[in-house]
Amino acid sequence: MTQQQPVLALDVGGTKLAAGAVARDGTMRSFCQIETAVGEGPTAVVKRLLDLGDQALTEAHLSIDEVGAVGVGCGGPLDPATGVILGPPGLPGWDAVPLGQLVAERFGDPAYVENDATAAALGEYRWGGWGVEDLVYLTVSTGFGGGIVASGNLFRGAARQGGELGHVVVDWQGRQCGCGARGCAEAYVSGTSIARRATEAVAGSGSTLTGLPITAKAVAEHARAGDRIAREIWDETTAMLGRMVAVLINVCEPELVVLGGGVTRAGAQLLDPVREAALRQAMPPAARACDVVLSHHGDAVGVLGAAAIAYERLEDA
């Protein structure tokens, strides 16, 4: 691989698939996304992902021979060494799916698979423009997860699953999480959880959400409009997320916590209460050294993360 060769980056989410060609400086030469349609099963979804990769190459005016590697971000658990997906809660039926092998067979290039939120943390560190060495990234989307960069290095842990921040328990007797445990952060602050809790609360309440398709976006919009139920759900979400961020600030002492993912499209409605709660509840020295911000990359953050993983692995090879 030459210094000039871009990589192909693929991102597998519970709601959307995305792909793009990314240059070494983080410039996106193409970006495209489609619905995951997880109910179709892993075989159909993987085919759609690979076809999307071809589309990203076409839009970037690249042949596969001009690409040095393929990076793949996917919800975990997964095995980064083998590229096998190991039954993520957000991808039902994805048990022992050899995603890395399937991608490599399709494109004929090395394929490097990593947890999507862990990958996004490296993408934010590498190309976010933040100028920090210690960073925590949290994705608030269909699911909830994160990654940690400490002293410029991505934290992976002994089993290479480190940074499963979505399954930090915030209420040990709390709501059931898709992983089987109770009270995980993901059971409270993911987009799926926001919608589920709102659906439960709306029944017989007279809420303006009654009879509507309830999504995290709808909850945010109706909360802004003053609906009591929507505001209660949104306030609970930001309070839980703020507490979670405070815990991470205390444990990791990052210079920055970056929030990304679809739910962060709510902007200041999410960021302001989370930032206030987190910095108020964290230990003062750690809070003074840290800030909480939104990612600049929007829907592309997963693709950039997957690209960052590809470049990291190539550089370490």
In a domain, 272, yes or no: yes
φ and ψ at 292, to 5 degrees?
A: -120, 125
C-beta neighbour count of 76 within 10 angstroms: 28
φ and ψ at 140, to 5 degrees?
A: -110, 95
In a domain, 2, yes or no: no
- Note whether 28 and 140 are same-domain residues: no
- Note whether 286 and 187 are same-domain residues: yes
The dihedral built from the CA positions of residue 214, 228, 260 and 141, taken in this order, carries a sign that is: negative
Q: Residue 316: its pLDDT value, please?
A: 76
pLDDT digits (tens, 9 = 90+) for 30-58: 999 999 999 999 999 999 999 999 999 99
- Give me the percent of the chain exceeding a pLDDT of 70: 98
pLDDT digits (tens, 9 = 90+) for 164-214: 888 888 888 888 888 888 988 888 999 999 999 999 998 878 889 988 899
CA angle 56, 71, 142 (to 5 degrees): 80
In a domain, 43, yes or no: yes
Res. 132: pLDDT tops 60? yes
Q: Residue 77: its pLDDT value, please?
A: 87
Q: Residue 317: its pLDDT value, please?
A: 65
The total number of structural domains that make up the chain: 2
- Note whether 101 and 69 are same-domain residues: yes
φ and ψ at 232, to 5 degrees?
A: -65, -45
- Note whether 18 and 148 are same-domain residues: no
- Note whether 59 and 79 are same-domain residues: yes
Res. 98: pLDDT tops 70? yes
The first and second tokens of residue 280, run together, are: 């108020």
Q: Residue 109: its pLDDT value, please?
A: 82
- Note whether 310 and 256 are same-domain residues: no
pLDDT digits (tens, 9 = 90+) for 9-27: 999 988 899 999 999 999 9
Name the residue range of residue 238's domain: 132-295
Only one residue has tokens 């550089």, namely 315
Beta strand 95-97 with 111-115: parallel, antiparallel or unpaired? unpaired
Helix residue ranges, H only, 148-298:
186-189, 191-202, 216-224, 228-252, 268-281, 284-288
Q: Residue 4: its pLDDT value, please?
A: 66
- Binned at pLDDT 50, 70 and 90, residue 105 comes out as very high
Q: pTM for this structure?
A: 0.92
Q: Residue 41: its pLDDT value, please?
A: 93
The first and second tokens of residue 49, run together, are: 């992902």
CA angle 66, 117, 159 (to 5 degrees): 100
Nearest to 209 by CA among 193, 225, 188: 225
In a domain, 138, yes or no: yes
- What is the CATH number for 82? 3.30.420.40
- Note whether 180 and 92 are same-domain residues: no
Q: Residue 257: its pLDDT value, please?
A: 98
Q: Residue 176: its pLDDT value, please?
A: 87
- Note whether 198 and 254 are same-domain residues: yes
Q: Residue 7: its pLDDT value, please?
A: 96
Q: Residue 180: its pLDDT value, please?
A: 83
In a domain, 181, yes or no: yes
In a domain, 126, yes or no: no
In a domain, 1, yes or no: no
Classify residue 129 as left (phi > 0), alpha (psi -120 to 50) or beta. Answer: left
pLDDT digits (tens, 9 = 90+) for 209-251: 988 899 999 999 999 999 999 999 999 999 999 999 999 999 9
In a domain, 261, yes or no: yes
Q: Residue 273: its pLDDT value, please?
A: 97
φ and ψ at 248, to 5 degrees?
A: -65, -35
Higher pLDDT, 87 or 158: 87
Residues 234 and 239: their CA atoms lie apart, in Å, by 9
Question: Average pLDDT, whole number, for the chain?
Answer: 92
Q: Residue 314: its pLDDT value, please?
A: 87
- Binned at pLDDT 50, 70 and 90, residue 278 comes out as very high
Q: Residue 73: its pLDDT value, please?
A: 95
pLDDT digits (tens, 9 = 90+) for 164-178: 888 888 888 888 888
Cβ burial 152-163 (10 Å sphere, 16+ → b, else e): eebebeeebbeb
